[in-house]
Each structure stands twice: as C-alpha cells, then as structure tokens.
C-alpha cells in the first residue's frame, strides 16, 4: 500500500457563525456561533465566593464587538445649538414647528394598510374592509 493519505475526517471544524439551525435531540448544536469571552477569575475573593467562575461558565458572554470607525462628535452641554433653523419645541406636541409625528414613526394601522391595498385591489375586498373600518 501507498503511504497513508490524510483525509478530512475528524479534528476541529469551524462552525458557521451563527449556525443556520440546530438539529433535533442528540444532533442539537449551538446556533449563536459560540461565545468568545472566556470566564474571568477574580483573585482575592473570600472563601465561598469563587462561584463567579461557575456562573460565567453557565452563561458565557460574547466577546467585544468591532467599534465603529468613527464615533459621533460629542457636543458640550452648554454649547450653542446646531439647529438654529428649528424652534425649541420641534418634535413636541406643543409650541411651534412640527409635532411628534415628524420625529417618531407612527405605527401602521389596519386602516392605513387597507387604504394602500385599495389602489391595487380588483376584487372589492379592500373596499369592503375600508368601509367597515372607517365607520
């Protein structure tokens, strides 16, 4: 026989991060890509308080995520406004300027969804629903 050729069985296999799905029962596996932060030992703890290592091992944490390339500029509290064309009440439901709906997206309602469907519905169901909801 020729020299043994290495095969690709056994050994470490890097998992997909995260794994797409977990198998059933004995085939189950982690799907979170495995934690990357090792448990930390706290030295000089009193007797009986070494359980911190066990707690960290029971629910491992993810490691540090990549920081953004550029952090936003920090503005001092007493700095002049950067929005000179907006009144102080911008985004509130009192005073000058647009109200809260200008800065906070409003939730989609059933009526607004049916109104959008009216434009393309040829069956008449959307019109029926619109008339029922708009009473």
DSSP character string of 69-84: SSPPPP--TTSPPS-T
What is the pTM assigned to this prediction?
0.28
91: left (phi over 0), alpha (psi -120 to 50) or beta: left
Q: How far apart are CA 127 and CA 56, in angstroms?
A: 57
Q: Report the distance separating Cα 1 and Cα 7, nearest Å.
A: 16
- What is residue 18's predicted lDDT score, i.e. its pLDDT? 60
What whole-number distance in Å separates Cα of residue 120 and Cα of residue 112? 14
pLDDT of residue 65: 65
pLDDT at 35: 60
125-133 and 110-118 helices cross at what angle (nearest 10)? 140
- pLDDT digits (tens), the chain, 135 positions: 445 555 566 676 666 556 566 777 777 766 665 566 777 777 777 787 777 777 777 766 766 666 677 777 888 889 888 888 988 888 888 888 888 877 777 778 888 888 888 888 889 898 998 888 887
pLDDT of residue 1: 44
Tokens of 23: 């198998």
């Amino acid at each position: 026989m020729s020299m043994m050729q290495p095969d690709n069985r056994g050994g470490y296999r890097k998992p997909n991060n995260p794994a797409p799905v977990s198998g059933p029962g004995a085939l189950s596996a982690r799907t979170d890509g495995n934690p990357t932060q090792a448990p930390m030992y706290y030295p000089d703890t009193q007797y009986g308080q070494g359980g911190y290592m066990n707690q960290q091992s029971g629910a491992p944490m993810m490691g540090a995520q990549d920081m953004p390339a550029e952090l936003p500029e920090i503005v001092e509290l007493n700095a002049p406004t950067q929005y000179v064309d907006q009144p102080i009440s911008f985004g509130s439901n009192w005073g000058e300027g647009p109200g809260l709906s200008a800065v906070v997206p409003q939730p989609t309602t059933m009526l607004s969804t049916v109104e959008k469907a009216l434009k393309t519905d040829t069956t008449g169901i959307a019109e029926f629903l619109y008339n029922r909801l708009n009473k």
